[in-house]
Amino acid sequence: MLTESLTRKVYLATGSAHKDLAVEIAQHMGLPLQEDEIKVFPSDERYFRFNESVRGKHAILIQSLASGKNGSVNDALMELVLMIDAARRASAHEITVVMPYMAYMRQDRKAKGREPISAAAVINLLQQTGADRLVSIDMHSAQTQAVFDGPFDHLTAEGIIRDALAEKVGTHHDEFIVVSPDGGRAKTSEIYAEELTIDVAHMPKRRSKDDPSVIKHPDFIEDVKGKTCILIDDLIDTAGTIVSAAEVLQKSGAKEVIVAATHGVLSGPALERLSNPAISELILTDTIPLDNAKEALGSKLTIIPSAPIIASSLEAIVTRDSLLQLFGGKNYS
């Protein structure tokens, strides 16, 4: 909890993309969440105005770059840009931008000629507008931090997801196995398996030559028969890969398949796919609004609050304490 003198120096604001999460963060920090003016003009242009003075204060601006009932991903991004610009022009002493989920982060390299590196473009836009510090959770590639010329705090939900899984595993270590759904998640899956003291298996993945959207896994995976399989990913978008993997595990004799991820983007056919009986439980954090997922998936969906780790991190930032110690170094692994 911040001291009263520090509290007076912090201005906590949120955009409209995921206000519920910002409310929870404010409650954990013991700070008021300001009711600033946000509106959309008939032309669909965005408007933002601070309702109180931010002069000389540390402005903490919270906005998940995700679509929802208040607009698209790009609406959320533009609203955030306006918030940063307003804080800079109103003479905020420091501007910290908190993106629990950062859109465009998967486009972190040039895979083909004549295409942008979209993650870099977004980060540069935020910095040029006036952001002094960025904060996000479980980036697709932690190296993306290098684009920002300043502090970029990379938080991780690994601890809270691992704790939720540990409760399920209990002392029945031989009955569970972590399965990597593709090569990109192999290292992370091995870390989870080691910390949960259970086995790990890897599933090779390839895309169809005729249709790259079609994911192909092997027809059978050894060592999963009769076990509860845990699939770990950083985010779930259209859910094609994760559902394909779950179906293979089910056919291979798995007792159950639990899917866990930090970010539930859940685009297009994702919710329909995730209702597949091959998946017994879906565990997500609430970095992105999950109202539609709650309605569609019901008791199959377990939501882990992300506000506590964000609030603790922001308190450390404000007081100049170490984030490395807060996450035991996992935010840099």
pLDDT of residue 165: 98
Do 94 and 214 belong to one domain? Answer: no
Do 109 and 240 belong to one domain? Answer: no
Do 250 and 298 belong to one domain? Answer: yes
Q: List Cα–Cα distances, 315 to 75, 249, 252, in angstroms.
A: 28, 42, 47
Cβ atoms of 200 and 170 closer than 8 Å: no
pLDDT of residue 294: 98
Percent of the chain with pLDDT over 90: 83
End-to-end CA distance of the chain: 27
Do 93 and 178 belong to one domain? Answer: no
Do 136 and 68 belong to one domain? Answer: yes
Q: Is the pLDDT of residue 262 over 90?
A: yes
Q: List Cα–Cα distances, 322 to 7, 254, 306, 312, 325, in angstroms.
A: 19, 42, 19, 11, 6
Do 186 and 328 belong to one domain? Answer: no
According to DSSP, the residues that pair with 68 across neighbouring strands are: 71
Q: List Cα–Cα distances, 18 to 174, 287, 291, in angstroms.
A: 40, 8, 11
Label residue 210 by pLDDT band (50, 70, 90). low
Q: List Cα–Cα distances, 143 to 23, 65, 108, in angstroms.
A: 30, 19, 9
Do 14 and 134 belong to one domain? Answer: yes
Q: What is the pTM of this model?
A: 0.94
pLDDT tens digits for range 218-239: 777 888 999 999 999 999 999 9
Domain residues for the domain of 106 are: 4-157+307-332
Do 323 and 270 belong to one domain? Answer: no
pLDDT of residue 181: 85
Q: Which of 4-13, 171-180, 197-206 has the weakest average pLDDT?
A: 197-206
Do 71 and 183 belong to one domain? Answer: no
Label residue 332 by pLDDT band (50, 70, 90). low
**Residue whose pair of structure tokens reads 């394909």 in the numeric block:** 244
Q: Is the pLDDT of residue 76 over 60?
A: yes
Do 150 and 176 belong to one domain? Answer: no
Do 113 and 248 belong to one domain? Answer: no
The average pLDDT across 273-281 equals: 98
* Higher pLDDT among residues 203 and 200, named by residue: 200
Angle at 233 between CA 231 and CA 234, to 5 degrees: 160
Q: Which residues contact 133 (CB under 8 A, 6 or more apart)?
A: 94, 95, 96, 97, 150, 151, 152, 153, 317
Label residue 203 by pLDDT band (50, 70, 90). confident
Label residue 73 by pLDDT band (50, 70, 90). very high
pLDDT tens digits for range 6-36: 889 999 999 999 999 999 999 999 999 999 9
CA gap 149, 248 in Å, rounded: 44
CA gap 314, 132 in Å, rounded: 14
pLDDT of residue 143: 86
Q: Is the pLDDT of residue 208 over 70?
A: no
pLDDT tens digits for range 102-135: 999 999 999 899 999 999 999 999 999 999 999 9
SS3 193: helix
Do 22 and 131 belong to one domain? Answer: yes
CA gap 22, 99 in Å, rounded: 11
Q: Is the pLDDT of residue 333 over 60?
A: no
CATH number at residue 110: 3.40.50.2020
pLDDT of residue 185: 82
Query: What residue type is 166 in one-letter code?
Result: A
Write the Ramachandran bin of 87: left for phi over 0, alpha for psi from -120 to 50, otherwise beta: alpha
- Tally Cβ neighbours within 10 Å of residue 111: 8
Q: Which residues contact 45 (CB under 8 A, 6 or more apart)?
A: none
Q: Which residues are catalytic?
A: 205
Cβ atoms of 230 and 188 closer than 8 Å: no
Distance from the Cα of residue 132 to its chain's centroid: 21
Q: Which residues contact 9 (CB under 8 A, 6 or more apart)?
A: 56, 57, 58, 93
Write the Ramachandran bin of 181: left for phi over 0, alpha for psi from -120 to 50, otherwise beta: alpha
Domain count, the chain: 2
* Higher pLDDT among residues 7 and 208, named by residue: 7
The average pLDDT across 237-266 equals: 96
